[in-house]
């Protein structure tokens, strides 16, 4: 498994990451890591690699886009000096284009999205041992659905940013697609965005596979 | 407009109809009609035909299927002796097949759905002046989506029941499809089931058109 | 219908407009438009003219008089750069004269009311494509009732301001009077000020008629 | 003052009487008498006639009509064996005819109202030392207002019942009319039914004058 | 009655005056005058002298001593420019000496009490038409009780201040003593400080008698 | 110390005993013994005599009189088969005579009080190893105060009952009197009935002294 | 993996199993499976074996002992006809012996524990395809700690019952011990009983390993 | 008893001291001293030495370490000018090393702990009549338990600081150890840190013994 003993892993994103974490800094007692994939990643790391003592911090904030991440990047990422960083952002960047189509100032267009994410990766990379970029996803299996197609564009942008920075890319959408071949989206998320426990376990597994977690 | 002066119009269904109505009987002071299409139907009838003094009662109950309606048909419909009756049921009958696919005892299969609705229509018809059957809908524009296709089956069943009983059929799905040609579903319902104010106004308009409401 | 495709329509006023809208700006997800006539106007525009994509913003604030509107006109109207603007103000200007007759500093006398409204219209007009001024109303059918008579004075002032600025005048009081010929005021508002759903639908219809909405 | 030392005075009615009293029996510690005219009557009796030790019980229940009083007359009046009884009922009997005009089963027509009140007075009178019947009122000074005119009919019925039983009649409406000659109704009740502290003090004074309370 | 038409009467004090009044200024809609003697004074003035239109403002604040009144005298009294002023202060000045005897910084000794009250009276008097000073009271009938004896000292101080300024002195303690000759203190106040409705009616009557209210 | 190892001590009474204990049976986790003297007795027994493992159960119920105790004596005392029993009752028996003097059915006169307490002691004694009767008290140092004098009568009745049954009598009033020689009653109880922590520690000490607790 | 396609897996226990599940039956929408290991088991089964469609039901109830399970075994296990059953019980059976040592009626001694668990296994086995018995645990690494030693006894009893019924035994304590070799107990549970997310993931992994889940 | 008449005793610490005390200063009405050992100390002092009138102030704050105490020492100790001071700090200094082992910035190492406590004692001593230093404790009887062993180190540091400053040292751990010889830790604290009433009485007794309280 690639995350070294003694590392600090910071995971940032939107409401899928946040999940009720402690603010302003998501670590400490009593569900401070939130109730989603971040807590699962932390727990599974501790169970399998108890001697590595990896410190996980959840810096997700509900409703945020990559634009919001940029505004708090120094305080919420750089100042905390993580060794590993994972980013899962973009869902709101796309969603607002579809649920609030007329409030254009809330939309983050793909060019801005990719450029911003690129800049954030560049700013963080020098001091990181590992960077993981997770694609935003939409729990809609039909690739011709307008919002799904748009989300795929953003996912491709994440893939390109990852390649440019030598980061690990996690194709969360592909993972969900495999699952949705068997189950209808409503069984894990009525709104096709906020997954239930099963969906968060999927995200945790996707992340852990990407860092070469040994399951057995 | 077909609803006669002095009529009592009872509207029954699930959460789309309920919308926070008064219980056990949905009429009276303070939002007793709920905050959805039933209140809009009542208000628009009063504004355009104030002299007809049509009494509207909301008997929707959240989460209900046609099976639940059958269990309370005598008390909640027949005993209240409406002149006109509208029924909008079936969404949960279908939804549970997709969000809780393993809890089969909560699924109402199409044969049972149609037979039950037919029996309810038969029981109510003799004393009614008018019966309106509204198709269940799903705010998903892709006709090949599994749940949408299933919902369409149930909508066809409603159409057949309406024909057998000489009832007015309201094709709510067709109305929503026309709207969804311009707007993405998430703009009126994150879960593609519970519409916002715009969606409820659409339902009210669909119902009123069906009873030949004169808009001007 | 006179509101052009792509327009932004801002509706401002007091509690009748506010109805629980989002603050500081009344647009976005989850009933951000409030639960009154503004949401109905927006929904009915979208249903009938889905391709026009008219953006509606609710800037009503409970308890406000025209004096309060003046204090926030730049931030809450001019800065948002609407194409169309509707104003429904004056109820509190009058009401406080009757329910708190001794707290004279809370009363807005008719001269100040008309002058202020005139100034607000003048400030906004240059950049507007359309201005709609709605008369304040009182759900009291007796024209000799003291507060009703006073409200009529203020309604006349609105009419004069509309004429001076070439604005559309909406005679809400006349609309309600027609309705009250058939129904007693208590059936839509115990306090004769805050209407129920029926009253808000009346306001929405009055506004839409004024902008030549095509109902069929 | 006519209420004898050691008497128990029971005051029954609707929400104007109830005012948050203790249930099931309105007496005891901590605002058990409610926060309206009943508590004022009790307090003023105690202050002026401390040695008479008159026990006051509040049996008002919000929303009730004379029909509801009949249903609980034995338990809530006769079983408590009062020496003096006051009744203030009829507002809801009339109000429902105006705010819920179509829910006719909630209306108590004048004949039923008078007959029921008469029967209640007859049932209670044999064991009473004094019976006080207070007219229902409506805080609307215009005698041609439909609901006010209706309320006056019911007030006349109370007067007739009082005469038939030798009871004391309290013309609450006349009292309020005198006050409303100076103040607009909204200054004491937005809904023209539930008065503020001033209105409750008026009711207390009207009752006390009727039993010949010595103010000085 | 001595309070002239059009006067503003400001009543200031501690929790006995406050009684849940609106803050920062105790007047307006919805129990803004609190639920105690101030509201009763206002209501009884309006009922008996409706044409005088006397404006009452409640500026009591729970827990305050005369020292706290001094700190807010300009803002809460002088700036509001009352015509008549009533002051009921001193209970907490004494009470803290007995329930928190060791927290001496919370005690206001009699010399400071009298001097401060004198200064407040002096500051307000020039612009007043009438000043009413109400003695603090303790609902303990035993004059040798330590706290009662102390409270009597403070009451005497109020009397002296009143005499020096030609103010009206209201001997609330004497009023309560007369009542307590018939009723045990616990029947109006478990803590012997915060009276129930009966006690507040007593205070209102005491004030009104002092300003020569005509009860009949 | 007289309470034997392995004993069950049941303490019953009114709100002074209850103090928020668990219902229906006052023992178990999380403040099940309440927050008053019963918990202190239990804790102090455990600290000084940890090896005796004395089980304490709190069966106090707020508002109760000896009449209420009689109604639940079998279920709440006899069925629980205590070895030691303490009773602290009578405060409400007396208090209601003073705070609700007219609601005579809530008063327990001294004869009934003594006879009932005697019968309860007789019913419990045969199976007890020890019975402790605690006098009701009133935190009023003036022996001529009417309620204090009445409470003293009830305390004397407890003393007589204790003598008749060979029970241990705890003179709580004498204990409080000694304390009140130094502190004013308001410093431990505004209502002179419900003591603060200091007062509950006094009660615990009084009980423990009576059973010959060794403090050192 | 041993659980067959189409199976129903019922998991029963105490608060560690319950975790806020739906009552009376723990399955359905919105965290109906609770927020602990049961939801993780269900999610991980669905992710790895989506085509098996295994239905999981959570029947844990906070505070329960094996005695409580016996009382509801027919309704909560047999009537639901599971194919697979897991039981995790005994923590409260032991805990009450240590936190409430004197309330002996709440203690379940080891003989009763083993006999009851044996009887429950016997009653359920005939219709099961698989039975999993999980040992109760205590997050205390010191084997000589009194409660830990006692818990180990109960764990041995579970092992014996499993052997007698050919059931799968899950040694949860051994799993936790391995983890506690690296982390202090307080890092996963302040009370050494209710684990955090990490501890629940451990339980889920232990169960899944026992049924031969393929992690890769 | 060593605390002189008229002294002010200030007790500072963490959540064990705080127990819901009033903020910012822990003294006054209504449980201002919190519900733990501070209130018991105050009460027992008042009961045994009523004439000494010792003023107790609770300045504990939940979650605090010695580092937090240093940050507020001037405002919360020196500015209040106590005569006697007690300090019970260190539990969180140690606990965070075990429940949040990776959040090292929350750990207070032993050197810093002792040096800081020493500095605080030095700063306060010149104006004190008495200083009491209470050892931090852990309700774990096994001396080889890692956190218990660590806590003992901190307790020794307190002992050394006490010796250097001639302060009274209270060995709370030894007291608890004696108790835990008879009772399992879970019977007074599930988390082995926050004791129940019994544990707080133990702390109060330990403190009072240290200042030579005369129990009899």
**Whole-angstrom distance, CA of residue D25 vs CA of residue D198:** 26
Instruction: Flag whether pLDDT at G56 surpasses 90.
Output: yes
pLDDT at A29 over 90: no
Task: Identify the three-state secondary structure at position D15.
Answer: helix
Per-residue model confidence (pLDDT) at position H216: 87
Chain A contact probe: residue of C8, C27, C42, C79 with most A CBs at under 10 A: C27
Predicted pLDDT of residue D30: 83
Q: Does H101 touch chain G (CB under 8 A)?
A: yes
The answer to whether F98 faces chain H, any CB pair under 8 Å, is no
pLDDT at position A135: 98
Q: Decide: A106 and A29 in contact? Cβ < 8 Å.
A: no
Structure tokens at F137: 């008290």
Give helix G172-180 / helix G146-165 axis angle, nearest 10°: 140
**Residue F32 phi, psi (nearest 5):** -65, -25
Q: How many CB atoms within 10 Å of residue C103? A: 17
Q: What is the pLDDT of residues B68-94, one digit of tens each?
A: 999 999 999 999 999 999 999 999 999
Taking the C-alpha atoms of residue D96 and residue D93, their distance in angstroms, rounded to an integer, is 6
Q: Which residues does B72 contact at the CB level (< 8 Å), separation at least 6?
A: B61
pLDDT of residue H18: 98
Task: Give A28 to chain H, closest Cα distance, Å.
Answer: 7
Secondary element (H or E) of residue F56: strand F55-58
DSSP state at residue G52 = T
User: Across the strands, what pairs with C12?
Assistant: C87
**What's the pLDDT at D29?**
85
Put simply, whether A95 touches B (Cβ < 8 Å) is: yes
Nearest CB among G40, G183, G201 relative to A50 is that of G183
- State the distance between the two ends of chain G, measured CA to CA, in whole angstroms: 12
Mean pLDDT on H78-106: 97
A5 Cβ under 8 Å from any chain H Cβ: no
CA of A142, closest CA in chain G: separation in Å? 19
Element (H, E) at F176: helix F172-180
- The answer, yes or no, to whether H and A have at least 3 beta-carbon pairs within 8 Å is yes
G5 contacts in chain B (CB < 8 Å): none
Whole-structure pTM value: 0.95
Q: Strand B55-58 and strand B84-88: pairing?
A: unpaired
C-alpha distances out from residue A182 to A141, A187, E20, G46, G212, Å: 11, 10, 61, 9, 22
A100 contacts on C by Cβ (under 8 Å)? 27-29
Sheet holding B55-58, edge to edge: B55-58, B8-13, B84-88, B130-134, B168-170
Is A103 close to C55, i.e. CB distance below 8 A? yes
Closest approach of H105 to chain G, Cα-based (Å) = 16
Structure tokens at H143: 């001396």
E window 147-176, beta carbon within 8 A of F: 147
Give the tokens for residue E145.
């009780």
A53 CB near a chain H CB, below 8 Å? yes
For the beta carbon of residue B163, count every other beta carbon within 10 angstroms: 11
What is the edge-to-edge ordering of all strands in the sheet holding C8-13?
C55-58, C8-13, C84-88, C130-134, C168-170
Residues in chain C: 216
| pLDDT tier at D216, thresholds 50, 70, 90 | confident
Contact A103 C28 (CB under 8 A): yes
Whose tokens are 């009449």? That residue is: F67
Nearest chain H residue to A6, by CA: H102
Sequence-distant (6+) residues with CB within 8 A of E90 are E65, E66, E113, E117, E135, E136, E151, E154, E155, E157, E158
Tokens of A53: 């003592």
Q: Is G193 on the interface with A (CB under 8 A)?
A: no
**Which residues in chain B have Cβ-Cβ distances shorter than 8 Å to C182?**
50-51, 53
Distance CA A89, CA A199 (A): 16
pLDDT exceeds cutoff 90 at H82: yes
Helix (H, G, I), strand (E, B) or coil at H86: strand
Distance between D141 CA and the closest CA of chain E, angstroms: 16
Checking if the pLDDT of B4 tops 90, the result is yes
Round to whole Å and give the CA distance between C155 and D11. 46
Mean pLDDT over all residues of chain E?
97
In tens, the pLDDT along E18-37 reads 999 999 999 998 899 999 99
Residue B30 clears pLDDT 90, i.e. is over it: no
Residue A181's φ and ψ, nearest 5 degrees, are -65, -20
Q: Flag whether residue C101 sits within 8 Å of chain E, measured between CB atoms.
A: yes
Residue H75 contacts E, CB cutoff 8 Å: no
The number of helices, as runs of H, and strands, as runs of E, in chain F is 9, 5
Q: How many CB atoms lie within 10 A of CB H73?
A: 18
pLDDT at F142 (0 to 100): 96
Residues in F closer than 8 angstroms to H51, CB to CB, are: 182
Would the pLDDT of E216 be above 90? no
Closest CA relative to residue C12, chosen from C95, C161, C114, C132: C132
Residues in chain G: 216
Q: What is the dihedral sign for C-alpha F40, F45, F47, F53? A: negative
Q: How far is CA A111 from the centre of its chain?
A: 19
Contact E123, E78 (CB under 8 A): yes
Name the residue among D99, D101, D103 with its Cβ closest to that of B27.
Answer: D103
Distance CA H187, CA B168 (A): 70
pLDDT band at H30 (very low <50, low <70, confident <90, very high): confident
Average pLDDT of B127-153?
97
Nearest to B29 among D99, D101, D102 (CB): D99
Residues of G in Cβ contact (< 8 Å) with B99: 29
CB atoms within 10 A of CB C19: 21
Give the angle A111-A117-A122 at the CA atoms, nearest 5°: 125
Q: Is G104 on the interface with H (CB under 8 A)?
A: no
Q: Based on the residue annotation, tell me whether F62 is a catalytic residue of this protein.
A: no
**Rounded CA gap, A64 and A13, in Å?**
7
The reported pLDDT for the residue numbered C216 is 87
Neighbours of B23 (CB within 10 A): 11
- pLDDT tens figures, H134-185: 999 999 999 999 999 999 999 999 999 999 999 999 999 999 999 999 999 9
C51·B182 Cβ contact <8 A: yes
CB proximity G63 to F under 8 Å? no
Least CB–CB distance from H142: residue in G101, G145, G191 = G145
Q: Which pLDDT belongs to residue E29?
A: 85
Chain D residues within an 8 Å CB radius of B29: 99-100
Q: How confident is the model at residue H34 (pLDDT cuts 50, 70, 90)?
A: very high
Per-residue model confidence (pLDDT) at position H29: 86
- pLDDT over 90 at B2, yes or no: yes
SS3 G179: helix
Among D residues 15-44, those touching chain C with beta carbons less than 8 Å apart: none
Give the C-alpha separation, G27 to G38, whole Å. Answer: 11
Cβ distance of A184 and B101 shorter than 8 Å:
yes
- Please check whether residue H101 touches A, CB under 8 A: yes
What are the residue boundaries of the structural domains of chain F, listed by start? Answer: 8-210
Which residues in chain C have their CB less than 8 angstroms from residue D101's CB?
183-184, 187
pLDDT at B114 over 90: yes
- Residue C142 to residue D142, Cβ atoms within 8 A: yes
CA distance H41 to G77: 53
CA distance H66 to chain G (A): 21
Q: Give the span between the Cα atoms of E207 and E202, in whole angstroms.
A: 9
Any CB–CB contact under 8 A between B103 and chain G? Answer: yes
Measured between CB atoms, which of H33, H44, H179 is closest to F201?
H44
**B175 Cα to chain G: minimum distance (Å):** 29
- CA-based nearest distance H24→chain F, Å: 21
Neighbours of F65 (CB within 10 A): 23
- The answer to whether the CB atoms of F103 and D55 lie below 8 A apart is yes
* CB-side neighbour CA atoms (13 Å) of B50: 16
Beta-carbon contacts of residue E143 (< 8 Å; ≥ 6 apart): E149, E152
Mean pLDDT of B137-143: 97
Q: Is the pLDDT of residue C29 over 90?
A: no
Residue of chain C minimizing CA distance to D100: C187
Please name which of F178, F180, F22, F176 lies closest in space to residue F91, comparing C-alpha atoms.
F176
DSSP secondary structure letters along D124-154: HGGG-SEEEEEPP--S---TTSHHHHHHHHH
Q: CA-nearest residue of chain H to A54?
A: H102
Which residue in chain E has the smallest CA separation from C104?
Answer: E55
Q: Give residue A30's pLDDT.
A: 82
G15 labelled catalytic: yes
Contact A92, A14 (CB under 8 A): yes
Q: What is the pLDDT of residue G30?
A: 82
With the C-alpha atoms ordered G173, G176, G180, G181, is the resulting torsion angle positive or negative?
positive
Per-residue pLDDT of chain F (216 residues; tens, 9 = 90+): 999 999 999 999 999 999 999 999 999 988 999 999 999 999 999 999 999 999 999 999 999 999 999 999 999 999 999 999 999 999 999 999 999 999 999 999 999 999 999 999 999 999 999 999 999 999 999 999 999 999 999 999 999 999 999 999 999 999 999 999 999 999 999 999 999 999 999 999 999 999 999 998
For residue A12, the surrounding DSSP H or E stretch is strand A8-13
Cβ atoms of residues H149 and H94 within 8 Å = no
DSSP line for A105-127: GG---HHHHHHHHHHHHHHHGGG
Distance from CA of B210 to the nearest CA of G (A): 35
CA dist F54 and G7 (Å) reads 52
- Secondary structure class of B89 (helix, strand, coil): coil
How many C-beta neighbours within 10 Å does residue G10 have? 25
| pLDDT, tens only, D103-147 | 999 999 999 999 999 999 999 999 999 999 999 999 999 999 999
Find the farthest-apart pair of alpha carbons in chain F and give their distance in angstroms, rounded: 52
Indicate which residue of G118, G125, G177, G194 is catalytic: G194
CB H158 within 8 A of CB H133: yes
- Which residues on A lie below 8 Å from B181 (Cβ)? none
Q: Within 13 Å of residue D11, how many CA atoms lie on the same side as its CB?
A: 30
What pLDDT shows up at residue B216?
87
Whether residue B181 lies within 8 A of chain C, CB to CB, comes out as yes
Catalytic residue among A15, A42, A64, A76, which? A15
Q: Spell out the CATH class of C8-210.
A: alpha beta
């Amino acid at each position: 498994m690639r995350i070294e003993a003694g590392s600090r892993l910071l995971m940032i994103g939107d409401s899928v990451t946040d999940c009720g974490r402690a603010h302003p800094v998501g670590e400490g007692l009593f569900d401070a890591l939130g109730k989603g994939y971040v807590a699962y990643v932390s727990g599974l790391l501790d169970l399998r690699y108890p001697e590595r003592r990896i410190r996980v911090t959840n810096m997700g904030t509900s409703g945020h886009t990559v634009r919001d991440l940029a505004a708090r990047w120094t305080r919420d990422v750089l100042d905390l000096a993580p060794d590993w960083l994972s980013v899962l952002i973009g869902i709101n960047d796309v969603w607002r284009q579809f649920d609030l189509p007329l409030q254009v100032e809330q939309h983050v267009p793909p060019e801005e999205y990719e450029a911003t994410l690129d800049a954030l990766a560049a700013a963080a990379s020098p001091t990181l041992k590992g960077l993981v970029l997770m694609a935003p996803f939409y729990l809609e299996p039909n690739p011709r659905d307008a919002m799904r197609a748009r989300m795929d564009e953003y996912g491709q942008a994440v893939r390109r940013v990852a390649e440019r920075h030598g980061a690990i890319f996690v194709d969360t959408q592909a993972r969900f697609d495999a699952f949705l071949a068997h189950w209808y989206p409503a069984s894990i998320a009525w709104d096709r965005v906020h997954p239930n426990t099963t969906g968060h376990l999927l995200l945790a597994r996707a992340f852990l596979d990407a860092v070469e977690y040994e399951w057995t």
